[in-house]
Amino acid sequence: MEELKAYIRNIPDFPKPGIQFKDVTTLFQDKEGFKKALDALEARFKNEGFDAVAGIESRGFILGAALADRLGLGIVLVRKKGKLPGETLSQTYALEYGTDELQVHVGAIQKGQKILLVDDLLATGGTFEAAAKLVEASQGTVGALLCIIELTGLPGRELLKNYRVESLITYDEG
Amino acid sequence: MEELKAYIRNIPDFPKPGIQFKDVTTLFQDKEGFKKALDALEARFKNEGFDAVAGIESRGFILGAALADRLGLGIVLVRKKGKLPGETLSQTYALEYGTDELQVHVGAIQKGQKILLVDDLLATGGTFEAAAKLVEASQGTVGALLCIIELTGLPGRELLKNYRVESLITYDEG
């Protein structure tokens, strides 16, 4: 879906100097772009027997929620620590400096459910790996990891080699 | 849509003692509940000439994104300070203690666009009011404010009396 690059904006030096940030909000807010992305994802994942979508906070909620609706599924929220009100499972993961923590509600994913995990970006893969561990801790199965943008110059796909990884748009920078 | 209450979970004492938190994640993750909510919202807002949905971070992103897709629209993100990578407009609003700040990208809403603003909860109305000001600062028109849950024991609707306010589920507690 290289044509979707026309809807992505490059923001230099965000969130810090030297980073070329790929801004997907310009895709989300464009009705043609948003529809093209969802049409492509619906075609790719329909009739594959997924039981639920899980969206990773918070840009993963956007395509994740609309895709869940297209597929006739619900959407489970994978959130940063402290945001979910009920009892949670937690998974820490490494950042460049320090660690962060993702959580999912106990019971949100049921035993044996095949889950489609959605986030906006695949870079180092640490966030997806943590979210996948939460699915597995919930006794669900990670059917696929779906990102909008994959930075192929970074080792995310290698870290996630035991999973099916799907991306909508690739950039070869890192 | 009182039948949707069956999908909402009550969490006592979150985020602090004495608050009865209405957990909408159990609605989102249930495929029948999620579909029923979206069917009702699509019927309510189709053919009303909205130009875009704007979702308020981050639970507003879920129904907002799926509803935008149902209506053939894009979704603009209204986020907490510092989360949007490009140039932004900002609006501060009062919390119980202190203030918070919402932002929208410059250019995300275009002059004259009729916007459907979506959030999960209407309590005091401060968040919706700030988001509505951002729509107006972008020279858009607030066509409606849509929440999943309205707490009718609180003065949110009074604060927002100059706007069309729509809710999916009401609770008479405050």
Which domains, ranges and CATH numbers included, belong to chain A?
48-171 (3.40.50.2020)
pLDDT of residue A29: 98
pLDDT of residue B1: 82
pLDDT of residue A95: 85
Block residue for tokens 């807010």: A29
Residue A96 catalytic? yes
CA–CA min distance B109, chain A (Å): 9
B77:A62 CB<8 A: yes
pLDDT of residue B43: 98
pLDDT of residue A52: 98
pLDDT of residue B74: 98
By C-alpha distance, the chain B residue nearest A26 is B108
Residue B136 catalytic? no
Q: Which of A4, A8, A19, A34 to mutate to test the interface with B (most CBs of B within 10 A)?
A: A34
* Residue A103 pLDDT > 90: yes
So what's the ipTM on this one? 0.97
A25:B105 CB<8 A: yes
Pairs of residues, one from chain A and one from chain B, whose beta carbons lie less than 8 Å apart: 115
Whether pTM exceeds 0.90 = yes
Block residue for tokens 């000439």: B49
Q: Which helix (H) or strand (E) holds A60?
A: helix A60-70
- Mean pLDDT score, A71-80: 98
B-chain residues within 8 Å CB-CB of A13? none
Residue B35, CA distances (Å) to A61, A107, B119 in order: 16, 20, 18
- What interhelical angle do B60-70 and A31-45 show, nearest 10? 90
* Residue A93 pLDDT > 80: yes
pLDDT of residue A117: 98
Q: Which helix (H) or strand (E) holds B41?
A: helix B31-45
* Residue A67 pLDDT > 90: yes
By C-alpha distance, the chain A residue nearest B83 is A15
pLDDT of residue A174: 65
Mean pLDDT (chain A, rounded): 96
Map residue B42 onto helix, strand or coil: helix
- Mean pLDDT score, A33-49: 98
Query: What are phi and psi for residue B160, nearest 5 degrees?
Result: -100, 25
Cβ(A137)–Cβ(A110) below 8 Å: no
Percent pLDDT > 90 in chain B is 92
A57:B58 CB<8 A: yes
Low-confidence ranges of chain B (pLDDT < 70): 174
- Mean pLDDT score, A142-156: 96
Longest Cα separation, chain A: 44
Residue B118, CA distances (Å) to A44, A49, A104 in order: 29, 31, 23
Beta bridge partners of residue B20, listed in sequence order: B12
B31:A72 CB<8 A: yes
